[in-house]
């Protein structure tokens, strides 16, 4: 491990530099001389001591340094996951959590969140089929993210909004709200009614597909993670007028450990490509095709029929959803959740997130 002297001064946990009650830094980092060097360095069994030229002493527990070093972080993931195709997911026999235990016990909630974090999807069973009960579930783990679609939404094939979701047509796999600078973190679906045929939900682990691209064509994975492009939502129907634009690459990775954290994939809502130069755009289409081929492999498709009482939570930064075309009357309700607040709940229950 290697540590920079400014870094070592900046992270001093002495009472005058750091408030351990609020967990906030009191030291003004801008007042640290960028050429700072310790006057003396001393090491005992467990601790490293630095005395700076003004006499201030900084001490570091060696274990703390190991944990917080760049070299240490590089080997770790922020969020442990189990990547899946249909077979892996089905074999895992991930249990659903019951409505009562989800709402009333920390164990139920923790079990649910653990599965959700690992697989990017999770179900709650025996939920009374109403919008109010669905909202209760949502508010147990997070804050509802209000969007142009409302807070809790309730939709059927009435084309009340200028989007294909509000029809009976099939929808190919995609993530939602790619046209937001920060796409919604979690999507909640509860089918309250369906009298008719078809309408099954398709789920595909986008990170599993991306991992296959990384193995087969690493330069294509790299391109998809480097090249930013736009997604756009233009609505002009009746009272609803909206124009949203979101910019970012298809694959978003942390640079220090190359861990994927967000896939932005929606071929319907992808805007005109004008952010990729001529000499790159063809390679980008090739890379996009490779990813699409992985996402479309039948063995990666997990199909479920949503039923009243069974609420589905989808990690919209990871798992793509779609639907089969349908006939008859079909009513879906749900909402989006803010990702920060789901992760907050998970961390407070002791989960790594």
Ligand X SMILES: C[N+](C)(C)CCCC[C@H](N)C(=O)O
What is the closest distance, in whole angstroms, from the C-beta atom of residue 149 to ligand X in the complex?
A: 4
Q: Which stretch binds Fe ion (CB under 5 A): 24-32, 68-76, 169-177, 247-255?
A: 169-177
Residues whose CB is less than 8 angstroms from the CB of residue 296 and which lie 6 or more positions away in sequence, other chains included: 173
What is the closest distance, in whole angstroms, from the C-beta atom of residue 332 to ligand AKG in the complex?
A: 5
What is the closest distance, in whole angstroms, from the C-beta atom of residue 301 to ligand AKG in the complex?
A: 15
Residue 48: phi and psi, rounded to 5, are -110, 130
- The span from the CA of 188 to the CA of 207, in Å, is 20
Q: Which stretch binds ligand X (CB under 6 A): 82-90, 119-127, 174-182, 300-308?
A: 174-182
Residue 92 or 234 having the CB closest to ligand AKG: 234
**Of positions 99, 123, 176, 204, contacts Fe ion by CB under 5 A:** 176
Residue 177 or 225 having the CB closest to ligand AKG: 177
What is the closest distance, in whole angstroms, from the C-beta atom of residue 203 to Fe ion in the complex?
A: 11
Residue whose Cβ sits closest to Fe ion? 176
Q: Using the 8-state DSSP alphabet, how is residue 96 labeled?
A: P
What is the closest distance, in whole angstroms, from the C-beta atom of residue 305 to Fe ion in the complex?
A: 17
Q: Which residues of the shown chain bind ligand AKG in the complex (CB under 6 A)? A: 165, 171, 176, 201, 321, 323, 332
- Stated as kind and residue range, the H or E segment containing 253 is strand 251-253
Task: Spell 115-151 as b/e; 16+ CB within 10 A means b.
Answer: bbbbbbbbbbbebebebebbbebbeebbebbebebee
Residue 18 or 154 having the CB closest to ligand X: 154
Cα 25 to the chain's mean position, in Å?
28
Residue whose Cβ sits closest to ligand AKG? 323
- The span from the CA of 208 to the CA of 153, in Å, is 30
What is the closest distance, in whole angstroms, from the C-beta atom of residue 96 to ligand X in the complex?
A: 22
Cα 132 to the chain's mean position, in Å?
25
Residue 153 engages ligand X in binding (rule: CB under 6 A): yes
- Stated as kind and residue range, the H or E segment containing 90 is helix 86-92
Residues 61-100 binding ligand X (CB under 6 A) are none
Residue 220 engages ligand X in binding (rule: CB under 6 A): no
- The span from the CA of 94 to the CA of 268, in Å, is 32
């Amino acid at each position: 491990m290697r540590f920079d002297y400014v870094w070592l001064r900046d992270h001093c946990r002495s009472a005058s530099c750091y408030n351990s009650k609020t967990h906030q830094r009191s030291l003004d980092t801008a007042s640290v001389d960028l050429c700072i060097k310790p006057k003396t360095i001393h090491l005992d069994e467990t601790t490293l001591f630095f005395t700076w030229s003004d006499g201030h002493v900084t001490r570091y527990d060696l274990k703390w340094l190991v944990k917080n070093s760049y070299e240490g972080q590089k080997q770790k993931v922020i969020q442990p996951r189990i990547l899946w195709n249909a077979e892996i997911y089905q074999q895992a026999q991930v249990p659903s959590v019951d409505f009562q235990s989800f709402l009333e016990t920390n164990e139920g909630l923790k079990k649910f969140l653990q599965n959700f974090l690992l697989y990017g999807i999770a179900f709650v069973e025996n939920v009374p089929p109403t919008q109010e009960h669905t909202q209760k579930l949502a508010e147990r783990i997070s804050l509802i993210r209000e969007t142009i679609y409302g807070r809790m939404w309730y939709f059927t094939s009435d084309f009340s909004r200028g989007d294909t979701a509000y029809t009976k047509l099939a929808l190919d796999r995609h993530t939602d709200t790619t046209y937001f600078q920060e796409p919604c973190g979690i999507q909640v679906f509860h089918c309250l009614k369906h009298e008719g045929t078809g309408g099954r939900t398709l789920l595909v682990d986008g990170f599993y597909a991306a991992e296959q691209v990384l193995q087969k064509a690493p330069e294509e994975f790299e391109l998809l993670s480097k090249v930013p492009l736009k997604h756009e939502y233009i609505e002009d129907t009746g009272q609803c007028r909206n124009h949203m634009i979101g910019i970012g690459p298809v694959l978003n990775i942390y640079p220090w450990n190359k861990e994927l954290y967000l896939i932005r994939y929606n071929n319907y809502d992808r805007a005109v490509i004008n952010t990729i130069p001529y000499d790159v755009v063809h390679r980008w289409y090739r890379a996009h095709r490779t990813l699409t081929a992985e996402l479309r492999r039948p063995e990666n498709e997990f199909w479920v029929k949503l039923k009243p009482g069974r609420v589905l939570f989808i990690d919209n930064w990871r798992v793509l959803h779609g639907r089969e075309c349908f006939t008859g009357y079909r009513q879906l309700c749900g909402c989006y959740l803010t990702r920060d607040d789901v992760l907050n709940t998970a961390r407070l229950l002791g989960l790594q997130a």
